[in-house]
Each structure stands twice: as C-alpha cells, then as structure tokens.
Amino acid sequence: MKILIATGIYPPDIGGPAQYARNLYDTWKRQGHEVKVAAYRWERAFPPFVRHLLYFSKILRKGWNADLILVLDTWSAAVPTMIACMVMRKKYVLRTGGDFLWESYVERTGDLVLFKDFYVTKMDKFSLKEKIVFILGGKVLRHARTIIFSTKWQQEIFTKTYRLDPQKQTVIENYCRNRETFNEPEGRFFVAGTRHLKWKNAELLKEAFTEAQTDVIKRGFEPIELDCGKAVYDSFVEKIRHSYAVILVSLGDISPNMIYDAIGTGTPFIVTTETGIISRIKDAAVFVDPLNKKDIVDKIVWIADPKNRAIQVKKVQSISFVHTWEQIANEIVAVWNKVK
C-alpha cells in the first residue's frame, strides 16, 4: 500500500508519537509498503495559523495518492489532515497518544488536575483557545474512519466526553519489547521522565526524592540519586537499562513508553496509579498516588532497600506481555482493511 504517517513530531524529536512514527515507517518499509511521513519541521518557525496551513499543504502533496493515512495526534497534525482529507475526499485513521487539551491546560494554569477528572471538573474554566481545541478536536475524532486507542482507559474517557461512536474505534496496545538479558545496575540512580512538563509532576517528585534521600541514609542504605535529564530515545533506554529503578509520578500517563521499556530491560519501576496499563503491570508495579508526596517518599525508600528491589526485579521479569512493531503495523493494516 501507499501509506502516509501524519505526525506532529518525528526523530530527532523526543516523545512517544515520534518513536511510534519512526518504527511504523521502518516496519512498513521492510514489509514492502511505500511509506511517507509528514511531520512539522521548518514550519515551526511560523506562527500557529500559518504553520498549520503549511502543514495542510504538506498533507495534500504527500497524501494525494495514499491508500492509508494514519494520524498520530488529535490536534497539530490531526486538524490540518482532517481538512486536507475533506479536500481529497479521503478517510483517515486516527491513533490517539496523550491528550493535547489536558496537557496544555495544565501547562497554562498550573492546575494539577488528574487526567481522569479533567473533563468532569474543568471544562467551565477553558480559555477561548481551549474551547476551540475542544470543538475541533472533537470533530477530528468524529470524522476519522476509525480511532485507535492504546488503552481502554482513554477510550472510555474520550467516548463519553466527545460522544464517539463505539463502532468506529478499537484498541491496539502500545509497543513492549522482547525481554533482554537482565543487567545489575551500575549505580543507585532512579530514572525519571525526559520532558519537563507540569503534568509530569516533576517538582513534587524532586521534593519527595530529596526527603527520601535523607530517610535512605538514616536507614543505613547507600545513597540514591535522581536522573531527570533529557536524552534521545536510544540513549534514554540505555539509561533505563543500567538504572536502579524507573520512577513515573505523572498526573495521567495513558500508555507510558518508559514503563514498557523498563519491563523490556527487566528494570523495576515505581509508577503513577493514573495510568491506562494497570491491568498489564499490576502484578509487578510499585504504585504511587501522584498527589501524595508521602506515598512517593515511602515507595522510594522501600525500593531503595536492595532486598525489596530484588523482589521487584523478579516480578518484572515474570511479565510475559510482548507487542512488537510488526504486530502493531499488521494490526493497523488489518483494522484499515476492515473499515475502508
């Protein structure tokens, strides 16, 4: 087939959609498909409306002969693609990642509202821009030939909020690599997320970690460190591979790549209760309430005990779930062949 992947970001950009786009591109190319990617590059130098118009023209150029157009967000790439598809009289498949509206609201206001509560409690506080995003985002979702969610958690929230047709959606879970040979950590550092966004809850994590460091020393354990540094994907996985533990305390991580990468490398992890993959990780995770600093402190101190970490390593290694890029690529094509 001729496939166009429409995405807001693409490597060397950091983020889930960038990795999703790159790996689908590589996989479909290996399978013999003709694949193109439309991502924002030089268009970012222009103000919002202009760069969206330029991206719209890029979709027209690259998508005119496409058999399948896959969109990997619900706003920056999705709105211009929706309009372009109307012009070309084509349908598109939309795969949701995070939630641009919730993320931008938290970034603007500093209101640390949980993702699951956002549409129930904050819609009356939207700015004009956020109201527009909500309206156009809903149109993007409803105009898609089908919507692919990575978790049932987000699917249920979006279906209710945007009044989506249950018959026009499916769930294709995120990538989870084959298990690697486990490596003992080179130090006692915890790897946190790479993007410095308010919904990632980094400030509370840093406060909690500082308190935990003191408690760890008092208990006679070796010191621990927190790594919140940015890194490109491959370097970031390498950090995870050699870390003591992974820690994620965000206000809502729908299908966190970082946790699946930890599973693949056999690294134990502390993770927010506000995630859509609980059913996959519940037997191996150390869960924390992202709004409860004491809970975060206690869990860091607990896993800082090497005996407890060893227990978690065995639990992580017992997770059998694997979902390859080949499987994901084939599942997307199967969905398209069913609904086109």
The stretch 36-47 carries a mean pLDDT of 94
Residues 262-310 have pLDDT tens digits of 999 999 999 999 999 999 999 999 999 999 999 999 999 999 999 999 9
What is the predicted pLDDT for the residue at 196?
A: 82
Domains 2-175+323-339 and 189-317 equal at CATH topology level: yes
What is the predicted pLDDT for the residue at 123?
A: 96
The stretch 62-79 carries a mean pLDDT of 95
pLDDT of residue 181 exceeding 80, the answer is: no
Average pLDDT over all residues of the chain: 94
Candidates 148, 164, 300, 149; CA nearest to 224 is 300
Give percent of the chain above pLDDT 70: 100
In the chain, where the domains are located: 2-175+323-339, 189-317
Sign of the Cα torsion 201, 324, 75, 121 reads negative
**DSSP letters along 186-227, please?**
SSSEEE--SS--GGGTHHHHHHHHHHHHHHHHHTTPPP-EEE
Sign of the Cα torsion 285, 290, 291, 292 reads positive
Residues 104-155 have pLDDT tens digits of 999 999 999 999 999 999 999 999 999 999 999 999 999 999 999 999 999 9
What is the predicted pLDDT for the residue at 194?
A: 64
What is the predicted pLDDT for the residue at 48?
A: 87
What is the second-level CATH architecture of the domain 2-175+323-339?
3-Layer(aba) Sandwich (3.40)
Contact present, 90 and 69 (Cβ < 8 Å) = yes
Instruction: Kindly indicate the confidence band of residue 88, based on its pLDDT and cuts at 50, 70 and 90.
Output: very high
Candidates 74, 6, 3, 2; CA nearest to 40 is 6
What is the predicted pLDDT for the residue at 127?
A: 96
What is the second-level CATH architecture of the domain 189-317?
3-Layer(aba) Sandwich (3.40)
147-171 burial code (b ≥16 CB/10 A, e <16): bbbbbebbbebbbebbebeeeebbe
Residues 243-265 have pLDDT tens digits of 999 999 999 999 999 999 999 99
Instruction: Kindly indicate the confidence band of residue 59, based on its pLDDT and cuts at 50, 70 and 90.
Output: very high
Residues 212-234 have pLDDT tens digits of 999 999 999 999 999 988 777 77
pLDDT of residue 206 exceeding 90, the answer is: yes
Residues 308-321 have pLDDT tens digits of 999 999 999 999 99
pLDDT of residue 182 exceeding 80, the answer is: no
Give percent of the chain above pLDDT 90: 88
